[in-house]
Amino acid sequence: VQSLKDDLCKLARSLDPSRLVVDDSGGANMTRESSRLMRPYHDSFEPYDDFHIHQRAPVDRDIELYYGHNGEQGQLCFLSEFGFGGMEDLSGESATPTRDADYLNSIQQRAAKGFQDRGLDRLFGNIDGLAAASRDVQNDAARYQIDACRANSRWAGYCYEQLCDGNDAFCAGVLDRWRNPKLVYTTLKKAQQAMRPLIHVPRTNLLPREEVPVVVTLTNDERIEGQADLSLQVVGPTNQVLWKKRRGVKIPKGGRELWTGSIAASGSPGTHQFVVRLLQGMTCIGESAIDLHVFDPVEATGIEVNVVDPQRAWLERCTPFAKLGTAMAPVHIVPRLANTIRAYPDNELMQVLAQVKGGAVAILFEPPSDWNDLASRIDPAISATSREAVGGAAGVYHYAKLHPVFDGLPARSLMRQPYRNAVAAKTFAEPSDEDICGTFDAGACSQEEQACWGSDILVRRYGSGRLVFVHLRILDNLGKDPVSDRLFVNILRHFSRRSVPPDGLQPLDQRAVEWLRGERNERVRRWMAIGPFPNWNDKGHNTAYPPEDAVQLDATYPGWYTALRWKTWCSKADDSHVVDLQDAFTPVYGTEPRFDYGTGYAYAEFTSDRREPATATIRVQDATKVWLNGNFIHESNEHLPHDEFQTKTESCMIRHGRNTLLVKVSKTPGPFRFSIDFSSATKEPLQLKWWK
């Protein structure tokens, strides 16, 4: 493959010596080969950093920061693929070639059943209405993504996913397959003006009269100089100007700060706009605006809830909105406690399920992907199959019905920027007993798969009660985002009315308790993970970040694009105890191995009944360091192709009692994984108990 790329690049150079020639960047993912280019009038290759970024929409703050901080200063970096698809007209009426009409009709037929089953004709009229709404989501995403890219001086350039839709890339273009412009086409033109103010705010969902800090920088690609007037305005929901400021400025160079300060919402809920204009006389030479969504605050419900929270990580977030109760409460809240159901507390979780079977309601936020391993042992009717809903080139679109869960929030539409913090990173494959909100996966539909529809909230009957599975990212943002607050309160109010709790504690399913306890004790290992720290030019591996000085599990550190905190992540025996740091760190990314760089740490503890020599077996894919009880026992610096592990063995000494284990991994484009195990150096097998 590499020789073929070489020949094609040389052919391109011979045909046009004045062009920049780049080879295929796919090797950065699969084989870890560097992306390469030929400069104009040169015939030799040189490496550069090539990025592909496909992320969900609406665009949240982490995604903005990810775009805005990617790349190494001084290193040639290019963003060769990004964007979020917007569906083309599925009617096929514009098609001239018969095969295009047939192709679109087949997609329409695959989508139609789920569309009708969910009653979405009341929201969108027909599939074409859904397609039009998806183009609005694409348009929103492009504006935020391009502004974040333009704020990043490290990018040498960027390339939107593609120009035109086609059968091999349904939805991905800025033009449809008949070269008709989509809504995003005009937005791209505006967003890429040579001079454009860029508005940076930490949050766009506000309470009435809430202030938010603002920084305005300037892109000035043509290096225009001189004097201008800077106009700042806050425009209210009824288009009235609520606040304005105007002052003379000297036009700064690109990337420089134009204005910093704070603005405030009015006392009225609704969409506000912050508008920035740069004027010379009566001519506007640069303009930008950002929407601020203002919502009324919610009040405490007084609903009694039981929160399953053995580590007491979520109680403080829930208590402002509900009354804490016991296992007899009508509503049970099960937060995301781990990435595997096997690490959930056995007795406490099974008591909740017993109460639900007797008539109560349990709300499970972001349940782990292996929930069905437990459900199959209790009742297959309560299965909840999670799958990715990140989207990307083709797009995954999230709809919200006119339903009590969305009281006081935008509904009867696709989820747009007000839902930026809450939109689901995963969805459920099963249809819900009560359809409230869900997803349409255009990529799955175009590939002749049946998995194009999903449920973001899945309601399942269990005995006399209900299980409510929620993939909306609500709990992480409680108290920080008025949309998440309102969703939480609305869910409590709606489902508490459907709860008829039993009079006393119900008997537990002892077989399920024993299975869960056995899995937790014997087949799960708990880790704490933190990252990614910077690893540009693969220098992070030799940089001692704070975890190497001391493991402080309540500490917060700066990462390369967002603040970092330790997170719980469990490895499983079924996966050979592989620790996937990409999965542990964030749901921001797409589903493929990533094109970024990063350094991460994983920390675990275990106990031994005796002191003895042992052998550490370490499976690595990237540069890796290992410390056991503070002693450095391993270092490797290879970056292997994404499907390969290399096994290393090291001699070490296991202590009697508590042992600590710290692993550092520094990745280049590709995966972010390792595993480690210990075996006795003597004939007696090790008796280790991993931290739970």
Least confident of 18-22, 237-241, 434-438: 18-22
Kindly list the distances between the CA atom of residue 255 and the CA atoms of 76, 306, 534, in Å, as whole numbers in the listed order. Answer: 18, 50, 22
φ, ψ of residue 394 to 5 degrees: the values are -85, -40
pLDDT-based confidence at residue 166 (cuts at 50, 70, 90): confident
- Classified as helix, coil or strand, 287 is strand
Which pLDDT score, from 0 to 100, does residue 287 have?
95
Backbone φ, ψ for residue 607 (5° rounding): -115, 150
The Cα–Cα gap between 213 and 623 comes to 40
Q: What is the DSSP letter of 406?
A: G
In angstroms, what CA-CA distances link 576 with 30, 52, 262, 336, 341? 22, 30, 51, 23, 17
> Which one, of 423, 497, 385, 452, lies nearest residue 118 by Cα?
452
> Residue 325 pLDDT > 90, yes or no?
yes
For the segment 191-214, what is each residue's pLDDT rounded down to a tens digit?
Answer: 999 999 999 999 999 999 999 999
Highest mean pLDDT among 43-52, 362-371, 444-453: 362-371
pLDDT at position 99 is: 60
Residue 621 clears pLDDT 70, i.e. is over it: yes
For residue 237, what are the contacts with CB-CB under 8 A and spacing of at least 6? 266, 268, 269, 270, 271, 272, 294
Q: What angle do CA 137, 140, 145 make, to 5 degrees?
A: 120
pLDDT category of residue 671 using cuts at 50, 70 and 90: confident
CA–CA separation, 394 and 442 (whole Å): 6
Which helix (H) or strand (E) covers residue 207, if one does? none
> Average pLDDT in the 480-488 region?
98
Burial class (CB in 10 A: 0-12, 13-18, 19+), 393: buried
Q: Which two tokens stand for residue 658?
A: 């508590």
Mean pLDDT of 307-313: 94
Q: Cα separation of 391 and 591, whole Å?
A: 9
Strand residue runs (E) in 419-511: 426-428, 437-441, 453-455, 457-462, 465-470
Mean pLDDT score across all residues of the chain: 92
- Outline where DSSP puts E strands in 165-264: 173-175, 195-200, 205-206, 211-220, 227-235, 241-250, 257-264
d(CA 234, CA 153): 28
The reported pLDDT for the residue numbered 498 is 96
Backbone angles phi, psi at 142, to 5 degrees: -60, -40
Token pair for 221: 């690609």
- Residue 164 structure tokens: 């035109």
d(CA 505, CA 358): 9
């290393």: which residue's tokens? 648
Which is it for strands 304-307 and 323-324: parallel, antiparallel or unpaired?
parallel
Which phi and psi (to 5°) does residue 189 adopt?
A: -60, -45
- Cα separation of the two ends of the chain: 46
Q: How many CA atoms lie within 13 A of 57 on its CB side?
A: 32
The DSSP symbol for 541 reads G
**Is the confidence at residue 593, as pLDDT, over 80?**
no
Question: Which two tokens mark 359?
Answer: 């008539």
* Residue 690 in this model has a pLDDT that exceeds 70: yes
As a whole number of angstroms, the longest Cα–Cα distance in the chain is 87
Helix axes 127-150 and 61-69, enclosed angle (nearest 10): 40
The enclosing H or E element of 52 equals strand 46-53
Mean pLDDT of 618-631: 97
For residue 590, pLDDT beyond 70: no
**Distance (Å) of CA 46 to CA 41, 54, 72, 429, 521:** 13, 26, 16, 45, 51
The percentage of the chain sitting over the pLDDT mark of 90, rounded to a whole number, equals: 73
Whether the CB-CB separation of 198 and 151 falls below 8 Å is answered with yes
pLDDT band at 168 (very low <50, low <70, confident <90, very high): low
Based on its alpha-carbon atoms, the radius of gyration of the chain, rounded to whole angstroms, reads 27
The whole-number pLDDT of residue 94 equals: 53
How many angstroms from the chain centroid is the CA of residue 296?
A: 27
pLDDT score at 289:
96
Task: Please state, in angstroms and rounded to a whole number, the distance separating the CA atoms of residues 390 and 591.
Answer: 7
> 212-228 pLDDT, tens per residue?
999 999 999 888 889 99
Q: Provide the token pair at 116.
A: 């009708």
The residue behind tokens 């073929």 is: 4
Burial class of 554 by CB neighbour count within 10 A (0 to 12, 13 to 18, 19+): exposed
Tens of pLDDT, residue by residue over 429-477, are 999 999 999 999 988 887 766 789 999 999 999 999 999 999 999 999 9
Report the helix count and the strand count for the chain, using DSSP H and E: 14, 40
Specify whether the CB–CB gap between 453 and 110 falls below 8 A. Answer: no
Helix axes 127-150, 98-117, angle to 10 degrees: 100
Measured distance CA(517)–CA(344) in Å, rounded:
9
pLDDT at 81 (0 to 100)? 86
Q: How do residues 92-145 score in pLDDT, each as one tens digit?
A: 555 555 567 777 788 888 888 889 999 999 999 999 999 999 999 999 999 999
The pLDDT of residue 589? 60
Q: How, if at all, do strands 623-628 and 631-636 pair?
A: antiparallel
Identify the residue whose tokens are 């009653």: 119
Name which of 622, 660, 617, 621 is nearest 541 in CA terms.
Answer: 622
The pLDDT of 47-70, averaged and rounded, is 89
